[in-house]
């Protein structure tokens, strides 16, 4: 669940004009910058101020763009969910590969993405999940829904794998998908900590060993 | 890597006396409170001020107890390492159980521990690993050493499992141990997020399916 930032370009800006189009553009920049910083350092360490400063928006005008800090955070989670699901779909929807090879392609892409940013960027949902103890309680259901969404999508891929005989006939696809995402978040954290793809590889190898058809 | 807090009792205190014994006691309380808060909410969300406030130490006197915030953080990591290793040893050193059953006993203990605190407490090393992007760079090597330590200990347990035929003869014990801790951190995070032991169970089942002797 690392995020690649060529899809979130961040330009530094002066104080925004008050025209509706500019308001919209600044709002968009705040969201992109927010997603970027939250994949790097989570919510607590970032703070709204840092996001505003980076975009060049004066502190007092935050509420021109968002109803509340909580509403801003909720939009950041939703935006990441959509971004990440699109990335996942690109791999899992690749009919040229077998179902398990599609997951492997996603993993290779994630490894490449983390390397590209020198392992500074992880998963927004994982970062916020770790911090949940100090975040608005409404984020909990939203983050759980994000993981459930990814899990459902991967479970459908495993159902195809089962149908074509890549995994055992009696495999519990939803549980396998849950297992994958649970461990994957741990792997992304360790890859950031070690600044190495090794944790992603070790987890992927272990995972495929457990699903391999006996 | 959840932490059970009966072993870290926290009493609220008034302003400490300046006698050496009291200084030592207050220092100890700061360390215990620090470990407690860091297992709940990590470093960024906690801040030194919250720890001082909880123990009742005036902000200005922090440097009577620790050289720097970084030195304090380093002591917290070390203290957690020792605490956790002792817990792990208690299970992995239990000669009454088979090697894999020892790991299962550790997992059951961790589930119980997380439940007991309503899933508010996770793993200090996992929390800080997730936050590494904003922490002093010296913490990185220290946290990696903590994981390496746990990994070595678990690898030795798997070597015994291999010798007695619980896992395959050609199993790579160090890699299996790495796989376990990588995924386990993800499971602890999800258990906190979901307020449920299910992620710990799902990860453990998946893990044992991958090590089971073919």
In tens, the pLDDT along A79-125 reads 999 999 999 999 999 999 999 999 999 999 999 999 999 998 989 99
A139 versus B46: the higher-pLDDT residue is A139
> B195-210: per-residue pLDDT in tens?
999 999 999 999 999 8
Pairwise CB contact (< 8 Å): A126 & B130: yes
Q: What's the pLDDT score for residue A212?
A: 76
Q: Read off the pTM.
A: 0.88
Q: What's the pLDDT score for residue A78?
A: 96
User: Hey, of A185, A194, A204, A214, which one would you mutate to test binding to chain B, going by the most B CBs within 10 A of its CB?
Assistant: A185
Q: Please give the structure tokens belonging to residue B131.
A: 């936050």
Chain B residues whose CB is inside 8 A of the A195 CB are 140
Rounded Cα distance between A22 and A147, Å, is 34
How sure is the predictor about A74, in pLDDT bands with cuts at 50, 70 and 90? very high
Share of chain A above pLDDT 90, in %: 72
Pairwise CB contact (< 8 Å): A44 & B45: yes
Is the pLDDT at B5 greater than 50, yes or no? no
Q: Which of B101, B90, B94, B85 has its CA nearest to residue B147? A: B85
CB B98 within 8 A of CB B164: yes
Residues 6 or more apart whose Cβ sits within 8 Å of residue B180:
B103, B154, B207
The shortest C-alpha distance from A211 to chain B (Å) reads 8
Is the pLDDT at B80 greater than 60, yes or no? yes
CB A97 within 8 A of CB A105: yes
Q: Please give the structure tokens belonging to residue B48.
A: 């030194």
> Across-strand partners of B212?
B167
Chain B residues whose CB is inside 8 A of the A209 CB are 210
Place of tokens 């995020």: A3
Is the pLDDT at A2 greater than 80, yes or no? no
DSSP state at residue B17: P
State the average pLDDT over residues A40-62: 88
Residues 6 or more apart whose Cβ sits within 8 Å of residue A132:
A139, A140, A143, B192, B193
Query: Class assignment of domain A9-211?
Result: mainly alpha
Pairwise CB contact (< 8 Å): A140 & B206: no
State the average pLDDT over residues B86-115: 97
Pairwise CB contact (< 8 Å): B42 & A131: yes
Mean pLDDT for all residues in chain A: 89
DSSP state at residue A165: T
Question: What sections of chain A are H helices per DSSP?
Answer: 20-41, 47-55, 62-65, 69-92, 99-116, 124-130, 138-163, 173-194, 198-211
From residue B170, alpha-carbon distances to A107, A208, B128, B165, B181 in Å are 26, 17, 34, 11, 20
- Give the range with max mean pLDDT: A112-121, A194-203, B21-30, B133-142: A194-203
Pairwise CB contact (< 8 Å): B126 & A189: yes
Please name the member of B44, B189, B210 whose beta carbon is closest to the beta carbon of A209: B210
Q: What's the pLDDT score for residue A11?
A: 43
Give backbone dihedrals phi and psi of A141, rounded to 5 degrees, phi first: -65, -35
Rounded Cα distance between A131 and A124, Å, is 11
Each domain of chain B, given as residue ranges in start order, spans: 9-211
Pairwise CB contact (< 8 Å): B182 & A187: yes
Chain B residues whose CB is inside 8 A of the A127 CB are 130
Is the pLDDT at B66 greater than 50, yes or no? yes
How sure is the predictor about A15, in pLDDT bands with cuts at 50, 70 and 90? low
Look at residue B138 and give its three-state secondary structure. helix
- Hey, is the C-beta of A206 within 8 angstroms of any chain B C-beta? yes
User: Hey, of A135, A182, A188, A200, which one would you mutate to test binding to chain B, going by the most B CBs within 10 A of its CB?
Assistant: A182
């Amino acid at each position: 669940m690392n995020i690649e930032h060529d899809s979130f370009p961040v330009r530094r800006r002066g104080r925004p004009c008050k025209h509706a189009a500019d308001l919209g553009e600044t709002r968009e920049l705040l969201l992109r910058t927010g997603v970027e910083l939250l994949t790097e350092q989570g919510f607590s360490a970032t703070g709204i101020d840092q996001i505003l400063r980076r975009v060049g928006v004066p502190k007092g005008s935050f509420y021109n763009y968002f109803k509340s800090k909580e509403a801003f955070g909720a939009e950041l989670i939703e935006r990441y969910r959509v971004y990440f699901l699109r990335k996942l779909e690109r791999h899992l929807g690749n009919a040229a590969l077998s179902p398990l090879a599609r997951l492997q392609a996603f993993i290779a892409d994630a490894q490449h993405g983390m390397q590209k940013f020198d392992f500074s960027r992880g998963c927004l949902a994982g970062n916020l999940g770790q911090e949940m103890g100090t975040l608005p309680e409404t984020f909990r259901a939203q983050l759980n829904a994000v993981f459930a969404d990814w899990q459902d999508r991967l479970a459908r891929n495993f159902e195809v794998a089962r149908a074509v005989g890549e995994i055992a006939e009696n495999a519990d696809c939803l549980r396998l998908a849950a297992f994958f995402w649970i461990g994957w978040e741990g792997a992304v954290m360790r890859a950031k900590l070690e600044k190495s793809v090794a944790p992603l590889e070790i987890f992927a190898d272990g995972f495929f060993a457990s699903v391999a058809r006996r």
